[in-house]
Amino acid sequence: MDDLERRLLHALKIDGRVSFSRLAKVLGVSDQTVARRYRKLQTEVSLRVIARSDARLLGTYEWFVRMKGGSVAVSRTASLLAQRPETSWVSLVSGGLEVVCLVRSTDARGEQQALLRHLGEPPQAGQVAAYDVLHTFLGERRLWPGLKSDLDDEQIKQLTAGLPEPVGAEDLRITDSDKALIEALGEDGRTPLQELALVTDSAENTVRRRLEHLRACGALYFDLDVDYHLLGFDALALLWLAVRPQCLVPVAEAVARHPEVSFVAATTGGANLLASVICRDNSHLFDYLAHQVGEMEGVLYVEVAPILHIVKRVVAPAGVTV
C-alpha cells in the first residue's frame, strides 16, 4: 500500500460510512481517485467496512468455543460453525488441529449447552470447551497501530465532525428493525440508505435517524475487515494467558497498550485472559513473547495458538438464537 491508501484506511476507521466526496476533500484528491483506490483495496487486501454492535448494550452474551481434535474433524467443525448465524471469526489454529470462534447469543447457559452438545456429536467429536467473555479491555473500536497513517490533526477533525454526538444509552431499546439494520451493516457497512430502507421496511429518513441514534449510543460502530496476511503480517496468533487474579486488570491493561495487540478480553477458564496479536513474522512474534509478555509480573503461563486460516470473518448479528 502507498501513503494515500494508508490514509484512506485510517479515514475509514474513523468513519466507515463517510462519503467518497468527503473523503476526497479531506485527502486532497478527486472523488474518482478515492473510489478507484477503495476498489483496489477491496481486491488486494480484502477490505470491507463492517458494522459491529456492543453485546452488553444489545443484551446478548459472548463466548469463545475451542475444539481440538484430528485435522478432518476440526475442518468439518470449522465449516459447521461458519454456517451458523451466531458465530464470527471462525479460525483454524495450531496447525489446523484446533478451531476457535466467537459466539454471540441471547441465552448464555441454554444456548451454550445446546451448541456444545451438537459439536460433541460425531463426526465432530473431540475436546470441546466454551469460555465466557467477562470483560473486553480492547476491542475493534481502537485503530490498530499497523493501520495508522500520517493523517494530521486537521484532517482527523474534519472526519470526526461528521459523527453523531455521543449520548447515554440508558433508555436504549433495540427493535426488530434495528436488528435487521445491524445485520445488513454487518455484511457491508457502506450499504446505501435506500437498500437499508428496504431491508428494514422503513423510510430512508427513519433509517438515517435510527442509524445516527445507534451510533450516538455506542450500540453500533464501524470497523475495517482486512486480510492482515495480504498487508504483510504473516504471524497472527491467539494468546491464552493464565494470570494471577490480583494481577489480571493491570496485566490486561498493559497488554492492551502493546502495538501488536488487536483484542484483549478476560474469560472464564484456566487461562483467564485472551489476546489476539498481529506480527510481521515469527521472529517478531518471538521477540514480543519473550521481551514483553514473558517479563510481565503475574503471568503464570502463555499458550500460543498460531492462526492458520480465518474461515469466517462476518460479525454475528444481534438477537440470534442457537
pLDDT, the chain, mean: 90
Per-residue pLDDT tens over the stretch 35-52:
999 999 999 999 999 998
pLDDT band at 145 (very low <50, low <70, confident <90, very high): confident
pLDDT exceeds cutoff 80 at 276: yes
Per-residue pLDDT tens over the stretch 303-313:
999 999 999 87
* pLDDT of res. 121: 62
Q: Return the CATH fold of 228-306.
A: Alpha-Beta Plaits (3.30.70)
Per-residue pLDDT tens over the stretch 52-94:
888 888 888 899 999 998 888 899 889 988 998 888 899 999 9
* pLDDT of res. 56: 82
Per-residue pLDDT tens over the stretch 1-29:
899 999 999 999 999 999 999 999 999 99
pLDDT band at 220 (very low <50, low <70, confident <90, very high): very high
* pLDDT of res. 123: 53
pLDDT exceeds cutoff 80 at 120: no
What is the SS3 string spanning the chain? CCHHHHHHHHHHHHCCCCCHHHHHHHHCCCHHHHHHHHHHHHHHCCCEEEEEECCCCCCCEEEEEEEECCHHHHHHHHHHHHCCCCEEEEEEEHHHCEEEEEEEECCHHHHHHHHHHHHCCCCCCCEEEEEEEEEEEECCCCCCHHHCCCCCHHHHHHHHCCCCCCCCCCCCCCCHHHHHHHHHHHHCCCCCHHHHHHHHCCCHHHHHHHHHHHHHHCCEEEEEECCHHHHCCCEEEEEEEEECHHHHHHHHHHHHCCCCEEEEEEECCCCCEEEEEEECCHHHHHHHHHHHHCCCCCEEEEEEEEEEEEEECCCCCCCCCC
Domain locations along the chain:
228-306
pLDDT band at 108 (very low <50, low <70, confident <90, very high): low
* pLDDT of res. 214: 95
* pLDDT of res. 314: 66
